[in-house]
Each structure stands twice: as structure tokens, then as C-alpha cells.
């Protein structure tokens, strides 16, 4: 089911008119440095190459589609080796736009290879993957822009070793590399080995990379209309050009979140009411946390900025988290993510008519039930004085998902401008990477090894 209708946002649940004195006023929004943030967004567009992805990939999309068709014809499995944005985006799009039990369908119904995204280095995970796939019938897509991502490269070393034992030295028919076009380790390896290669454009960081080959290849392999994804993103890009805050959905949401932070809401809960959107929350959590969690502002001052993203799923987490959201502290703002029309209608048949607590459901549909549950939870949250916003997709399709992902990316960039920080680096992540390199003996990390060795020893009194 496809639609080109625009997604909608509603921030009434953040405003005082709805939630009372703990909510925002219009002045809370308009007194933010909105004009400067719009100017910064416009000035930096050339550096934010991810903003051009909806417009400049015609030839790349054709190559992706041809490659995907070849993979569908020849392989039973498609495995992504990657972590962070290289994994979370493909997972989110697959869950949203493919059958919810995709891998369990018979091949004829599935229409493409099973998809596995290996985004961790738990040794049991790799062993489990190898128990369920035949590597001779599997295409592997290794994704790392730098080629120095330890987790991904460890996976690649394991897989190439196994493939060579099965196929001999030439394993080029089973591996596709997605990496930087010119620099880094993976492009050197791919060139040496003769692997098919797709490129991550300059200016496109991992968490902003889903709408380039990083995410589009896996989507195309599984039958997703990647052109519709990009058309949807382009439609949101057009809406995101407006410098009228109240006509720009991405920037209005960003302003509402930043103003909420100023009110002490340091936690942002994203709660989709569709299983297809469940892993959009995981993808968004990286985007928001890694972009805005910064110690230093643009002027070098310590600001310790950021808002903690929390994942929830409606209706499931009404039974595990909503008690906290309605009666807990006023340190959260909740974004409900819903759809107008589900892609399936599931009637609730008549039965147990003598039990009123059950029979009232008869004659309704699960579609009506989940919509009522979302509306009721929004009401309960607002009645308790807690802030919330609502994002609604007319239907979950490639076009509307493209709109949603792109909107969240622009929202994040605009929030960075409002907070006057660099939303596109991740120095805190680099610190952990460097410590890992030192612990595993990577050359050039002697100083870090010395620093780790000099760290205070654990106090035995606190170990039981």
C-alpha cells in the first residue's frame, strides 16, 4: 500500500493549553534562537551531504537495483556486517516495509533472500548465524566507511576465512563492500580482492547514512521500493526548507524538544503504535543521542548537552512503562508515532457474549483497538500534566517512511543549531574505540595503554 500523502505532526500535547502549567508557551518556542538556527542550517547544507541523497543518486539507485536483482536470483541469505548506523538503519527499514515474519516465510512468498544484520560481536551470535545459514548460498555486505571499525572487521575476518575454506581464494562473488570511495582500509581490501563496491559519500556520517547505499542495498535486496523511499525524503526536504517554524515539521519538532529540555525534560520517549515502526526507535536513539550528547559547545565551553532517548512500543509498553509516564517525574516528553491506516484489517469475531468484559470487543477490529489505545494513552499522559507530541503516518509505506527518516535527520541537525553544538561528530565514541585498540595491542596506542594501566584499581570492598 503506497501513498504520497504528507506525514503530520501535532505538538498540542506539549503546550500549556493541553497539559497545563508544566507545558510550553508559544513564547518558549519563539524565543529560542530560531533565525540563527535556520541560517546555520542553510549555511551548512553543503557540508551536510546527506541532505542531497534524495536528489543525486539516480545512477547509484539503478546499480543498486540491478545488484539486488542478481542477489535475489542467486542467494538464499543476505548478511549485513556492520554496527551503528550501518546496521540500525537497515534493520528499521526492513522491519517497517517487509513482512513482519519475513525470514520465516517460504522463499516463494518472501521473494528475496533472508536478511540477517550482525551488529554485535557477542561470540555466540556469530556461531548462531553460522548454524542457520549456508555460507555458500549467502551474500555478505560489509559496511564501514573507515574500514577500521573493529567489530565489523572482526566479522569480516571470520567470514572471509570461512569462505576461502569453502570456495578457495576467489571469494569475490560472495562479498560486497560499502565504504569510502578513496580512503580507509576497506577500500584497499576491496580493490585488492576485486569485490563489488558501493560508496558512502563524503559528508554522510554513519547515523545519517540510511538513504545512501549503506541502507538502500539491503532494502532493495528484500524488495523495498528504494525510489519511493527517496521520493518521500525529497518531499520532506521541500517541507524542511521553510523558515516559518510553524510550517516546518522537522524544525518545529526540534524547537519543541529543545524548549522541553529547558523545562527539565532530559528524556525523550519515542513510542510507535505499529510493530513495523518498532526499530525506527532504535535507529532514532542513535541519531539523537550521538548527535546531541556533547560536553562542549561550538564556543568551546562545557555544556554537557543532550536528551536521553528511550524506546517504547505501543501497546506493549503501556503495560510496562506508561505508569511511569503518567505518574512519574516531569523529566520526560513522549512522542507517539502512529498510523491512520494499517496495511491489514483484523476483525474481532463474536464470542463469550455472556461476559461483558470480553463481549464489548466483538464486532470491532484490532485496528480500532490499537487506535483507541493510542488515543487513550495520549489523553492519560496529557491529563497528568506530562508533555507529549504526535507524529502520524497516513499509512506505513516506503514514501512515508522516507519522509519520517529524513524529518528526524533534519530535526536533529536543527536541534544542534539551537543548542549551538556540533551534531555531526562523536568524540565520546572515539575515546572508547581508542581504549579498545589499546587493550587489544593495536600499534600506536602505547599512551592509552599506559593510561589504562594507571587507572585506579577496583576497591575489593565493593565487590561481593
Q: Provide block-wise average pLDDT over 10 residues at a time, the chain (464 residues).
A: 87 97 96 97 94 97 98 97 95 98 96 96 96 97 91 96 96 97 94 96 94 98 98 98 97 98 97 98 98 97 97 97 97 98 97 96 97 98 97 98 98 98 89 86 90 91 95
Q: Of 443, 457, 430, 412, whose CA–CA distance to 37 is shortest?
A: 412
pLDDT of residue 430: 80
Q: Which of 210, 290, 409, 417 is catalytic?
A: 290
Three-state DSSP at 163 gives: helix
pLDDT of residue 1: 61
Give every CB contact of residue 35 below 8 A, 6+ residues apart in sequence: 243
399 is catalytic: no
Whole-number Å distance between alpha carbons of 109 and 330: 47
pLDDT of residue 2: 64
pLDDT of residue 146: 85
Q: Which of 27, 182, 302, 319 is catalytic?
A: 319
pLDDT of residue 427: 87
pLDDT of residue 432: 83
How is residue 300 annotated by DSSP? S
Alpha helices for 141-277 (secondary structure H)? 150-167, 185-193, 213-221, 226-239, 249-262
Q: In what order do the strands lie in the sheet with 77-81?
A: 114-118, 77-81, 138-143, 175-179, 196-199
Whole-number Å distance between alpha carbons of 45 and 51: 7
CB hemisphere CA count around 24 (13 angstroms):
29
Whole-number Å distance between alpha carbons of 53 and 215: 12
319 is catalytic: yes
Three-state DSSP at 114 gives: strand
Amino acid at each position: 500500500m503506497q501513498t504520497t500523502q504528507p506525514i503530520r505532526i501535532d505538538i498540542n500535547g506539549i503546550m500549556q493549553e493541553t497539559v497545563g502549567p508544566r507545558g510550553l508557551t508559544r513564547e518558549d518556542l519563539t524565543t529560542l534562537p530560531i533565525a540563527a538556527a535556520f541560517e546555520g542550517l542553510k549555511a551548512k547544507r553543503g557540508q551536510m551531504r546527506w541532505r542531497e541523497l534524495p536528489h543525486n543518486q539516480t545512477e547509484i539507485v539503478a546499480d543498486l537495483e540491478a545488484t539486488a536483482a542478481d542477489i535475489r536470483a542467486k542467494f538464499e541469505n543476505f548478511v549485513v556486517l556492520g554496527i551503528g548506523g550501518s546496521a540500525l538503519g537497515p534493520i528499521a527499514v526492513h522491519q517497517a516495509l517487509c513482512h513482519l515474519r519475513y525470514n520465516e516465510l517460504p522463499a516463494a512468498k518472501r521473494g528475496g533472500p533472508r536478511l540477517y544484520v550482525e551488529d554485535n560481536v557477542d561470540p555466540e551470535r556469530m556461531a548462531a548465524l553460522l548454524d542457520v545459514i549456508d555460507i555458500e548460498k549467502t551474500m555478505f555486505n560489509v559496511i564501514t566507511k573507515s574500514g577500521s571499525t573493529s567489530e565489523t572487521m572482526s566479522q569480516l575476518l571470520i567470514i572471509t576465512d570461512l569462505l576461502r575454506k569453502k570456495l578457495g581464494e576467489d571469494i569475490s562473488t560472495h562479498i560486497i563492500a560499502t565504504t569510502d570511495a578513496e580512503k580507509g582500509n576497506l577500500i584497499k581490501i576491496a580493490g585488492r580482492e576485486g569485490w563489488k563496491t558501493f560508496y558512502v559519500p563524503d559528508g554522510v556520517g554513519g547515523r545519517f547514512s540510511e538513504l545512501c547505499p549503506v541502507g538502500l542495498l539491503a532494502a532493495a535486496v528484500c524488495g523495498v521500493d528504494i525510489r519511493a523511499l527517496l521520493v518521500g525524503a525529497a518531499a520532506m526536504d521541500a517541507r524542511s526548507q521553510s523558515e516559518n517554524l510553524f510550517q516546518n515539521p522537522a524544525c518545529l519538532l526540534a524547537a519543541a524538544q529543545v524548549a522541553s529540555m529547558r523545562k527539565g525534560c532530559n528524556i525523550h520517549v519515542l513510542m510507535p503504535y505499529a510493530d513495523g515502526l518498532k526499530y525506527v526507535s532504535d535507529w532514532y536513539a542513535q541519531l539523537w543521542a550521538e548527535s546531541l550528547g556533547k560536553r562542549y559547545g561550538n564556543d568551546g565551553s562545557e555544556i554537557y548537552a543532550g536528551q536521553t532517548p528511550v524506546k517504547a512500543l505501543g501497546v506493549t509498553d503501556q503495560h510496562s512503562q506508561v505508569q511511569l509516564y503518567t505518574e512519574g517525574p516531569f523529566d520526560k516528553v513522549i512522542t507517539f508515532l502512529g498510523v491512520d491506516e494499517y496495511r491489514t484489517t483484523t476483525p474481532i469475531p463474536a464470542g463469550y457474549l455472556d461476559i461483558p468484559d470480553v463481549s464489548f470487543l466483538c464486532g470491532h477490529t484490532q485496528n480500532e483497538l490499537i487506535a483507541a489505545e493510542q488515543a487513550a494513552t495520549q489523553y492519560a499522559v496529557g491529563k497528568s500534566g506530562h508533555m507529549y507530541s504526535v507524529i502520524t503516518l497516513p499509512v506505513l509505506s516506503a514514501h512515508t517512511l522516507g519522509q519520517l527518516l529524513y524529518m528526524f535527520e533534519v530535526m536533529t541537525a536543527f536541534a544542534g543549531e539551537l543548542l549551538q553544538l556540533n551534531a555531526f561528530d562523536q568524540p565520546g565514541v572515539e575515546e572508547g574505540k581508542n581504549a579498545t585498540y589499546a587493550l587489544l595491542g593495536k600499534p600506536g596506542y602505547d599512551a592509552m595503554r599506559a593510561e589504562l594501566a594507571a587507572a585506579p584499581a577496583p576497591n575489593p570492598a565493593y565487590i561481593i
